[in-house]
A = this chain, B = another copy of it.
Amino acid sequence: MEIEIATIGGYEEVGRQMTAVRAGTDIVIFDMGLNLSKVLIHDNVQTEGMHSLDLIDMGAIPDDRVMADLEGDVQAIVPTHGHLDHIGAISKLAHRYDAPVVSTPFTSALVEEEFDDEEKFGDANELVTMDPGESMSIGDTGQVELEFVNVTHSIIGAINPVLHTPEGAVVYGLDKRMDHTPVLGDPIDMERFREIGREGEGVLCYIEDCTNANKQGRTPSESVAREHLKDVMYSLEDYDGGIVATTFSSHIARVSSLVEFAKDIGRQPVLLGRSMEKYSGAAERLGFIDFPDDLGMFGYRRSIDQSLERIMEDGKENFLPVVTGHQGEPRAMLTRMARGETNYTLDEGDKVIFSARVIPEPTNEGQRYQAEKLLGMQGARVYSDIHVSGHLCREGHYQMLDALQPQHVIPAHQNMSGFSGYVDLCQDEGYTLGRDLHVTSNGNLIQLVE
């Protein structure tokens, strides 16, 4: 059976991931993501009403025109998890394909919100959910199967899809950390990866997330971030003023730890901000997390204002607002607090906890720096970098290669400089550039089996 890989997006950048795999005449698409920085560099661009081609020209969403060269039918669109760089283009591109969107329940809920927000295109695609550990048949040959292997990432519901073909398995390895104690949800299913590496024809091809490929060692477990966060929050137990925390809204495990430790030190947690409510609300509705009954979540301006007003009235020493703005985004809650634009007043000595890492890009670093300056001008004390990455570092990559023993490897989710550490590793492990190690770019076709 012919096996061909189309590397559509995310092979020259982090963002706008999209890859298609053709097995015979059946095609499966993995991810349709958005590169938000390509949108934000322009003033006043609203993507909701924009046409796909304009977004493609901006470099914001994958240029899927190479799909025309793939002979076959798209049978499924499979987002691996609910981050925007993996699902943010679905509402712009999926309608072109007569295929369902297949994902885990939490991812599916977020895809549905994407369709709901879309103004230009409707939601033409059926949403199908499948749990980690399960499989479904693809196409009519009876020879191709799609499996979801449970992985751990900084969002719940993350999987690595595996396309089983008569020529071996194609493992799409974006995005994951190798976490055996993930705080929320199941550990990464390394046993299954090892089985896949050894059963049948083994692994024909492994497409790998190179985000941290240049970083040494092992990405720590979420349990390490949790212990770190616990240490910081417990150390503030005696403080009798305001404490504010911020983190990635979609990082439910982290939000859950913040909520729990807030209670432990005698404060009432409150989630504030549109995306805080969106992700945590979805997680709770779907039963992935059971927040305390009295946990407030407020996403709209008026309810947020009321909540902050109540916090100030009741005494801010009794609360932990968990807010958006961990990257210093100019219009996020925390930045507005820092500018004194909300009802919440920061006093000398108040604490701000960034349970997040600064995304290393100068525009972003500038905004974050400015937010911290403004917080400092209000007298706030800042705790930052209480976080672990959601992506494998070098030794995780080493262990994945050892588990899967793939015939071919394709680095993804980075630019050339970001690939370099992974290429070095693969060469040390015996792979050869141009033969079984495929350094490629957006818009290419790689035929593995002819």
Contact = CB atoms under 8 A, between A and B. Distances in A.
Contacts of A377: 41
Interface stretch (A75-83, A110-118, A363-371): A363-371
Nearest to A237: B180
Contacts of A43: 339
Contacts of A197: none
A419 interface: yes
Interface stretch (A140-148, A293-301, A311-319, A434-442): A434-442
Most buried by B among A43, A232, A364, A368: A232
A214 B382 contact: no
Interface string A419-450: 11101100100001110001111001000000
Most buried by B among A339, A384, A434: A434
Contacts of A234: 180
Interface residues of A, number: 61
Nearest to A395: B381
A416 interface: yes
A381 B401 CA distance: 14
A228 interface: yes
A417 B415 contact: no
A227 interface: yes
A216 interface: yes
Interface string A228-272: 100110110000000000000000000000000000000000000
B434 A423 contact: no
A217 B383 contact: yes
A432 B417 contact: no
A69 to B, nearest CB: 14
Smallest CB-CB A-B distances: 5 pairs: A366-B366, A362-B369, A417-B420, A416-B420, A227-B227
16 contacts: A41-B374, A180-B231, A180-B234, A216-B384, A218-B235, A220-B228, A224-B224, A224-B231, A362-B369, A364-B366, A381-B398, A416-B419, A416-B420, A420-B420, A427-B441, A433-B440
Given A227-B227, A362-B365, A433-B439, 11 more contacts: A12-B427, A41-B377, A217-B382, A217-B384, A223-B227, A224-B224, A366-B367, A381-B398, A415-B424, A416-B424, A420-B420
